[in-house]
Structure 1
Amino acid sequence: MDLPPRPVPFDFHGVSMIKCFTDNWDNIQNFKARTDDILIAAYPKAGTTWVSYILDLLYFGQTCPERQVSVPLHERVPFLEISRPSLSTGKDLADLLPTTPRLIKTHLPVQFIPKSFWEQNSRIVYMARNAKDNAVSYFHFGHMNNVLPDPGEWTTFLTNFMDGKMVFGSWYDHVNSWWEKKQTYSNLHYMFYEDLIEDFGREMEKLCPFLGLSPSVEEKERVSALSAFDRMKQNKMTNFSTVQSMNQKVSAFMRKGIVGDWKNHFTVAQNERFDEDYKQKMKNPLLKFRCEV
């Protein structure tokens, strides 16, 4: 079977995007959020699926057990901006969600979020991952996901990543502008991938009160066990094995799920160049990332 050609990114209001995330733009921008909606936001490959599954388990793991084994996670937590021919749009899937709250995911930079989320004061959970591991994960994802532009060789990809020539724009702009939003929008919980890897229980103690949840110790342990990387990688409902555009023979959708894999990809020279560039772009002393734990 011939695969369709890979898309070519273009500038969209100052952000590099592709058509499957902009074709339904007016409908996305007019999305009617509800006060009890929860938006899960992240740059691509920063742990969106992990957070989506944690929230899905916290809210519905026991009340809707049949959904856990029969409905893939990407249908339980629709991807708001996606729009592909002959498939339901993410916006339509979100509109039709039968659950309360509705869990919805997005990779949009903060300035592209539909205004109804702010107007309704919906809760937002933002997940951020250190730039080096995020770049590596995005590189492998680009190779296996035919919806995305061809990432090319690692050297080229890394330069493009540093220059912000990625679908959904610059990693630096994304994490910084969401961090700034947190200072003025109180219903935003900003999480770090590395913190969750380091101490899952501690991060749950911060997340659950934000969500207005108080699960028992046993329930938290159950969520921790089910959302462990190896369990999710084996789970057909969470590993995206049902998505045809992703070729998991090239690379698994859930590849390693660790902190520090960047060391297997960056040369010494690339790392030095990256660190120098990073210093120029990450000026906020309060926003700190860790490249190892």
Structure 2
Amino acid sequence: MSVDPEKLNVPRPELFDFHGVPMVHYFTDNWENVQNFEARPDDILIATYPKAGTTWVSYILDLLYFGQTSPERQTSIPIYERVPFLDLFVPDVFSGKDLADNLPTTPRLIKTHFPVQFVPKSFWEQNCRIIYVARNGKDNMVSFFHFDTMNSIEPEAGSWSSYFQRFLKGNMLYGSWYDHVNGWWKKKQTYPKLHYMFYEDLSEDTGREIDKLCSFLGLSISPELKKKVLSGVQFDNMKKNQMANYSTLSVMDMKISPFMRKGKVGDWKNHFTVAQNEAFDEDYKEKMKDPTLHFRNEI
């Protein structure tokens, strides 16, 4: 897929309310087809709020399953084709649902940014394994801001201070960060095949988190493969890897900001003013109602 914004020749999309969640048309235009997606029991769905480590975990899974059996995939097929983005639809250019339908792999690895209530029902009916990755709200906001400055199929980012306010209000593509992370956390209590991961844990000890993933997936891997995965998914290696860094995708202007920018925990400190940090902490106390869901803003 190569989407040329000039060919799209359209302004940045506007947010609108869609079943109670702010969305843009690129992620709702194919709604009925996406909702009718036919999941298979061995499909693996990777779910995240945008900019919470989706590509990182997608690449880990792709290497775990196919790093040894199909090494040519790693050098010839970009990650967004190996792990299709189910939600996205750009007419005559890209349909995540069609890509997912036609994936030749077993299992099929599929990604979504949907809040839990938007996930096509067949994933639940088929009892699919689902991996949710959550990232602390401060870093998530900063990463999303930089992403929105350079991605022509997202709404305009505007100034950092106005973006900060929008994030707190939940007036973001895919809705409120709080609703997203809490909705999926709650689902975990009733759906045993959901593995809930934290970006900060993955940063702190990638090997440990890969072991947990393997345990959840029922995979037993050799020390050699684990070493290969650990090396491949290091941030600096992924950032240089054209098949993983989205540099082949023209809807994104990497001159404004790279798709893979820093990948650090705590980068929010370079963006938040003291007043913004206090405002965020107040907002967090008010909205993060579940005492069992804990985030770390630094490691």
Other-structure match for 1:158: 164
Residues of 2 paired with 1:235 and 1:154: CA distance? Answer: 29
Q: Deviations over 1:83-140 (max 9, x none)?
A: 0022130000000000000000000000000000000000000000000000000000
Please point out which of 52, 59, 70 is paired with 2:76: 70
Other-structure match for 1:192: 198
Q: Deviations over 1:5-33 (max 9, x none)?
A: 10000000000000000000000000000
Other-structure match for 2:123: 117
Q: Is the 8 A contact 2:245 2:259 kept in 1?
A: yes
Please point out which of 270, 273, 283 is paired with 2:289: 283
SS at match of 2:268: helix
Could you tell which deviates more after superposition, 127-136 or 60-69?
Answer: 60-69
Q: Normalising by structure 1, what TM-score?
A: 0.99
Kindly state the Cα deviation for residue 209 of structure 1 after the two structures are TM-superposed: 1.1
Other-structure match for 2:242: 236
Other-structure match for 1:40: 46
Q: Normalising by structure 2, what TM-score?
A: 0.97
**Identical aligned residues as a percent:** 68
Q: Deviations over 1:51-108 (max 9, x none)?
A: 0000000000111111111100000000001000221300000000000000000000
User: Structure 2: where are the runs of 5+ without partners?
Assistant: none
1:266 partnered with 2:252 = no
Other-structure match for 1:170: 176
Kindly state the Cα deviation for residue 200 of structure 1 after the two structures are TM-superposed: 1.0
Residues of 2 paired with 1:217 and 1:276: CA distance? Answer: 45
SS at match of 2:97: helix
1:247 partnered with 2:278 = no
Alignment of 1:124-143 (within 5 A): 124-143=130-149
Could you tell which deviates more after superposition, 201-210 or 252-261?
Answer: 201-210
Other-structure match for 1:57: 63
CA RMSD, Structure 1 to Structure 2 (Å)? 0.8
Q: Is the 8 A contact 2:48 2:132 kept in 1?
A: yes
Residues of 2 paired with 1:31 and 1:226: CA distance? Answer: 31
Q: Deviations over 1:159-181 (max 9, x none)?
A: 00010100000000000000000
1:182 partnered with 2:188 = yes
1:89 partnered with 2:95 = yes
Other-structure match for 1:8: 14
User: Structure 1: where are the runs of 5+ without partners?
Assistant: none
Q: Is the 8 A contact 2:68 2:225 kept in 1?
A: no
Moved over 3 A (4+): none
Residues of 1 paired with 2:158 and 2:139: CA distance? Answer: 18
Other-structure match for 1:25: 31
Other-structure match for 2:105: 99
Q: Which AA in structure 2 matches 1:264?
A: N
SS at match of 1:156: helix
Q: Deviations over 1:188-225 (max 9, x none)?
A: 00000000000111111211011110101221111010
Residues of 2 paired with 1:132 and 1:273: CA distance? Answer: 11
Residues of 2 paired with 1:262 and 1:235: CA distance? Answer: 25
Q: How many residues align?
A: 293
Residues of 2 paired with 1:92 and 1:205: CA distance? Answer: 32
